[in-house]
Structure 1
Amino acid sequence: MKTWFITGTSTGLGRVLTEKLLAKGDRVVATLRKADALNELKEKYPEHLWVVVLDVTDTAAIKTVVNQAFAEVGQIDVIVNNAAYALFCSVEEASDEQILHQINTNVIGSIQVIRAALPHFRKQGHGHIMQLSSAGGQTTYPNFGYYHTTKWAVEGFCDTIAKELAPLNISVTIVEPGAHETSFGSGMTTAPVMEAYEHTPAGDVRRAIAKGTFPIKGDVDKTVQAIIDSTAVSPAPLRLALGGDAYRDMRAALVSRLEALDAQKELAMASEKKD
């Protein structure tokens, strides 16, 4: 039996993950912004589920909640940073407030949850950080510029700390799902549309999603089960790509970047100081 701390559990992948873990007998500290969203699960699993209201943009609250969670349930084995949302608009359309909220939620919130957990993980001698990112942490789609900003940022952070934490028996896994119904469409925040972008790739993607022609094939149940199963793998995978679209789009982006880098090899080497 493992004990999990999961942010963003009221809907989507976080909710399904919580349900599956409780059904298999694990314990879950579930954080959310809507206090009553997990009442049914709390009644069903009163001894295995702790529900805490938390806004991950509130750093002081994060520290308090994480400290209380370890104090009340004792050992926590896995921290899952799941709370996030997607700002869906072209680069000019977003307001300053929307941009800051996107970064504060997806990046700063994730970082501060990890920072709050680390002293406890070090004290107990082990821990596993699971950071929900996206295929959009390795590739990009028009209209998701600010969302990609956060996912690329948090992947860079997690890639770095994985090296720092490995000697302390603390592992890091970056989860990179493709498109799922839980993350596309209903969960996105939009901004007023500018006519200038209607006949650009941003407009094309916007229309595809509105018409339902943007391919969304991710199976939530299979994705969540793969996340759970990955915690039994040793050493823990640094990255976990989930979904055919995630694999194809990420691979294409990586191959393209590698080809561009290789094409600049002579220029890169020529810019070095000569011995």
Structure 2
Amino acid sequence: MASTWLITGATSGIGRLVTERALAAGAQVIAVGRRSDRLAELADHAPHGQVTAVTLDITAPEAERVLAEAVRTAGGLDVLVNNAGYGLFGAVEQIDGDKARALFDTNVLGNLTVLRATLPTLRASRGRIVQISSVNGQLAWASSGLYSASKAAVELASEALAHELAPTGAKVTIVEPGLFATEFATSLDVVPPSDAYAPTVGQFLARFSQLPASAFGNAESVADTIMAVAAMEQPPLRLAVGADSVEGIRESLRSRAAELDLWASFSPEPADQPA
């Protein structure tokens, strides 16, 4: 029997590529996105009835109900690709409350909304949950503070979820892409830095804007990785995708381990307990 997938952010970037691959593999896809025209295009190019298009902002009050109903109508769910999100870059101090709330509403609370709507069915099917994070879920640069924080929240919630789901057979994988050529990279919300942050945030953003095309990987490889993970009997909890992600996370872990060892003496050993 063909599997059923739910993919958020299905109209562009990695979400669109995964949707196309899942359809080519014969899956039924609940494609979720905010662009009804792009969802219609997906449905038009797929075999009749293979796509259920759901035009939805996952931060909307009705999102959980709409998604749960789509899953019920589909008769079940085998794979969730929780992909919707966006990037906001700028100095921590200079990102105002409205922008910060909007970021966390989408990248964190929206992600959780999708999970609440789908987990009952995924537990029953012993399904696969693919949580799309980022290299920035493991490390932060000058300018990525709030975006990194939103992805770190997804990472730790997903790690806890993996422990909680372990007895059910449902599996969670956190995918951590590096820099890839998608609409995400060209549609970032960037808050220009003030003079105080020009040497740090400003310098980083200037370097980023001058990266050559060769610095961005082919997003097809991320989609291929997600397809492979969804088919694994024992998938990894975390999977960095792209050499820059692997090396960046490795260096961050080395630095953290070295700092932990350097300052471990500030944490006294526990006192001996009485017999």
Q: 2:271, 2:214 → 1: CA distance?
A: 49
- Seen in structure 2, the aligned counterparts of structure 1 residues 41 and 92 have a Cα distance that, compared at 3 Å, is same
Residue 135 and residue 76 in structure 1: after superposition, are their counterparts in 2 closer, same or farther (change >3 A)?
A: same
Counterparts of 1:166 and 1:49 in 2: how far apart (Å)?
30
2:191 & 2:156 partners in 1: Cα distance? Answer: 27
User: Are the counterparts in 2 of residues 208 and 214 from structure 1 also a CA contact under 8 Å?
Assistant: no
**Counterpart of 1:56?**
58
Q: CA deviation at 1:271?
A: 4.8
Is 1:221 matched with 2:217? no
1:176 deviation in Å?
A: 0.4
CA distance in 2, matches of 1:256, 1:86: 25
Q: How does 1:198-217 map to 2 (within 5 A)?
A: 198-200=198-200, 202-213=201-212, 216-217=215-216
- Cα distance in structure 2, aligned partners of 1:252 and 1:262: 15
> Which residue matches 1:16?
17
- State the alpha-carbon separation in 1 of the partners of residues 152 and 58 from structure 2: 19
Counterpart residue identity of residue 99, structure 1: A
The alignment status of 1:163 with 2:163, answered yes or no, reads yes
Give the counterpart letter for 1:9 in structure 2: A
Give runs of ≥4 in structure 1 deviating > 6 Å.
Answer: none
For the aligned residue pairs, the C-alpha RMSD in angstroms reads 1.7
Aligned pairs for 1:188-267 within 5 A: 188-200=188-200, 202-213=201-212, 216-267=215-266
More divergent stretch after superposition (244-253 vs 49-58) = 49-58
Aligned AA (1:47)? G
The answer as to whether partners of 1:88 and 1:191 remain within 8 angstroms in 2 is: yes
Q: Does 1:128 align with 2:128?
A: yes
Give 1:248 deviation, angstroms. 0.2
Percent identical among aligned pairs is: 35
* Residue-pair matches, total: 271
Q: Distance in 2 between matches of 1:257 and 1:33?
A: 39
Q: Which runs of 5+ in 1 are unaligned?
A: none
2-structure distance, mates of 1:262, 1:35: 52
In structure 2, the CA distance between the partners of 1:118 and 1:154, relative to structure 1 (3 Å rule), is: same
**Could you say if the C-alpha distance between residues 90 and 215 of structure 1 is closer, same or farther in structure 2, counting changes exceeding 3 Å?**
farther
Distance verdict in 2 for CA 1:156–1:43, change over 3 Å: same
Aligned to 1:91: 92
SS in 1 for 2:92: coil
Q: Does 1:115 align with 2:116?
A: yes
Q: What secondary structure sits across from 1:36 in the alignment?
A: helix
TM-score (norm 2): 0.93
Question: 1:31-90 CA deviation, whole Å, 9 max, x = no partner?
Answer: 1011111222211223211110111112x4222122212221112101111000010111
Instruction: Give the alignment of 1:98-109 within 5 angstroms.
Output: 98-109=99-110
Alpha-carbon distance in 1 for matches of 2:206, 2:214: 12
Q: Which runs of 5+ in 2 are unaligned?
A: none
Q: Distance in 1 between matches of 2:56 and 2:269?
A: 50
Contact 1:87 1:189 in 2 (8 A): yes
- Report the AA paired with residue 272 of structure 1: P
Shift of 1:213: 4.8
Q: Specify the code of the residue in structure 2 equivalent to 1:259.
A: A
Superposition TM-score, scaled by structure 1 size: 0.93
Is 1:274 the counterpart of 2:275? The answer is: no
